Structure 1
């Protein structure tokens, strides 16, 4: 498979390595990026980036490609996807696919003119063994109709500091902290509930990475942890005095159209990080943690433990609980053989719309009704709501 990359940052540099290990005939033949943060990672692992092109159009018109991978800063995804679609390319875009409601509707209108599977989005958590096991539990009706979910994504200080130092600290480029970091999780729970969100409320702010919390103020002089993860484009060394406009902690309450509810908590300065869930249904309860690597399922009537499973936190290749290499294999097979994928571009746009409304609810301190936004979204698609893939 011959691949071109636009936006060769850390993530796609890493994924290029994963794809090349999983499928040895995976070949990056060219890339477009004025400042490629992922080049060093690829070089260390013997993965060639191919030819550097000055423009995406130039690469698409010169190189013979089977797949275009989009890893540019989020705000540029829409334009790069548009160019790729218009050149007839199969496209894999990193998440989040776009950054705001305007871009969501624009991409929905664009996708209405192309085959639904021409765009793939890197919601890697859908490929995690734990999530796949959760979906099997649900398919076996161990949970029954979902009543409520409590979930969290809590990341360690080294990762939170990265957000304060990288281009992701600016909402105009990233779409905000919850979109950039938590859209994975919210997509999973949308899938588990099986209905669209109907209304949201949210609260949050920047509470940890602020000047008065500098470690020096506590008598701590070793700040290496806050620079452990390198920043890329528009990087800064400021952590606690960053000019970031994103939050570092946030909660969201979501009610779905079928009456189920979700309470979600995100924090980027957690000493012992976790990524857990408790899903309560009429017939049973599933609780688990992607980082701590377990899932338990209990029967609601008898309290019997029906499932007690362990899962890897990481593998030799995967940063996401064994999911990265599975995504690489499935995307590869989809491009060459049409293998179905567990998540679609429509799923990605739907969770994006949810997160934009969560942000609006946080900013306005109000409950946001989503019904009119779903009407606008469906109108942009030019058809009734369609959930491609397994979803």
Structure 2
């Protein structure tokens, strides 16, 4: 067997640990080093990567010459500065492939910094957009053209649980998270752009804070993240897409309901939330489904899309983290020419979320050109 592909991990909080659990399931891989400044998160990460070397800085991690690739799963507002540190430390000669969690950045001022990084870093960077790889969503993406006869409308509804607790409570504040429609919803804006095959040009949105985190205070400061809203995105090719988000609807049977509609029919993907949150007294958690509803002859065609129980156990994203890593490893091992989710994809997803946040705050239509 060839040498295992060795990861260096930056950040092992909740999402970083999900990545660790999935890396264990991949063929011929290992975690060589981890940088995680929080003691409790380090202790948890050791359970999944007991042979990894734990280091005290990114510089120390990057000095380890046996690493083949890097994974960034730190708090959102650290991503751009850590990409810059990687580029400045490794240089062109030792540049390693990077899988960086979404959102790629959190501030409009980061756009120029990202462009400078992209222009000078020679190794591939894959942006972690897990929702593309959920089996029911991947099935919808594959079959949508045939089911619809050409997509005209694309709609995403996410009814889910509130933001979970994170280290340092960074996800309670827009300045650290980018805002709910960046932090949580960049996944969906990425799907919209992928499905439409076009770039967004303007955003209309309405949202607010109705229920979640109202009584929480952090150093005397109230959280400012939104907990619900509607977003309509118009694309350059004339297509439109809509998002409905509610973060106090964890009692729903399905967490995501995604539909594409065209002149010949409709296709839907129904995705359950994390199995660990499903009430035990209700029995087994629901299984993901894809439903195709042709106009002629009428009659919905329902398909269960089961996911390997090991993958469901390894994370909260319907098995998608595993499949994403399979693609990333193909890139690292030279079996794939380019990332499936590029820096450009990650940039557009964030900018659309920022436009939604601005539209809600300023009560107006926002042109994407304002953020470019």
Range into which the TM-score falls when normalised by the shorter chain: 0.7 to 0.9
Match of 1:253 in 2: 232
CA contact under 8 A between 1:8 and 1:37: conserved in structure 2? no
User: What per-residue deviation string (whole Å, max 9, x for no partner) do you get for residues 291-338 of structure 1?
Assistant: 151111122343344x42112376233421121221222222221133
Which residue does the alignment assign to 2:6? 2
Distance in 2 between residues matched to 1:26 and 1:338, nearest whole Å: 15
Instruction: Note closer, same or farther for the CA distance 1:32–1:130 as it changes in structure 2 (3 Å cut).
Output: same
Residue 54 and residue 318 in structure 1: after superposition, are their counterparts in 2 closer, same or farther (change >3 A)?
closer
Which one of the candidate residues 295, 304, 311 is aligned to 1:310? 304
Counterpart in the other structure of 1:59? 61
1:104 touches 1:353 (CA, 8 Å); kept in 2? no
Alignment partner of 1:351: what SS?
helix
Q: Which residue of 2 aligns with 1:287?
A: 268
Offset at residue 206 of structure 1 (A): 1.1
Structure 2 stretches lacking a partner, 5+ long: 273-285
Q: Measure the CA separation in 2 of the matches of 1:107 and 1:48.
A: 34
1:118 maps onto 2:124 in alignment: yes
CA deviation digits over 1:230-258, x for unaligned, max 9? xxxxxxx769x972111111211111122
SS in 2 for 1:142: helix
**1:329 alignment partner in structure 2:** 326
Residue 48 of structure 1 corresponds to 50
Query: How far does residue 131 in structure 1 lie from its aligned partner after superposition?
Result: 1.9
1:147 to 152, 156, 165: 152
Cα deviation per residue 1:215-273 (whole Å; 9 max; x = unaligned)?
xxxxxxxxxxxxxxxxxxxxxx769x972111111211111122222221111111423
Counterparts of 2:34 and 2:188, CA distance in 1:
30
Report deviation, 1:164: 12
CA–CA distance in 1 between the matches of 2:55 and 2:120?
Answer: 28
If the length of structure 1 is used for normalisation, what is the TM-score?
A: 0.80
Structure 1 unmatched runs, 5+: 215-236, 377-391
**Aligned-residue offset at 1:50:** 2.5
State the Cα distance separating 1:343 from its structure 2 match.
2.1
- Partners of 2:13 and 2:166 within 8 A in 1: no
Structure 1 residues 325, 163: CA separation in 2 closer, same or farther (over 3 Å shift)?
Answer: same
| 1:42 to 1:162, Cα distance in 2 relative to 1, 3 A | closer
* TM-score, scaled to structure 2: 0.83
Q: CA deviation at 1:63?
A: 3.9
Aligned to 2:174: 171
CA–CA distance in structure 1, aligned partners of residues 363 and 9 of structure 2: 40
1:108 and 1:267, CA in 2 relative to 1: closer, same or farther beyond 3 A? same
Aligned pair partner of 1:38 in 41, 55, 58: 41
- Higher mean displacement: 165-174 or 92-101: 165-174
1:19 Cα deviation after fit? 0.5
Shift of residue 9, structure 1, vs aligned partner = 1.6
What residue number does 2:345 align with? 347
State how far apart, in whole Å, the 1-side matches of 2:213 and 2:170 are.
Answer: 18
Q: d(CA) in 1 for partners of 2:42 and 2:16?
A: 10
Distance 1:372 1:238, change over 3 A: closer
Q: In the alignment, does 2:135 pair up with 1:129? A: yes
Q: Which residue of 1 aligns with 2:278?
A: none
Does the Cα contact within 8 Å between 2:129 and 2:341 map onto a contact in 1? yes
* SS of 1:166 mapped into structure 2: helix
**Alignment of 1:187 onto 2:190:** yes
Change (3 A) 1:106 1:210: closer
CA gap 1:341/1:59 in 2 versus in 1, 3 angstroms:
closer
The 5 Å alignment of 1:73-112 reads: 73-86=75-88, 87=90, 88-112=95-119
Assess, with a 3 A threshold, how the Cα gap between structure 1 residues 210 and 101 changes in structure 2: closer, same or farther.
closer
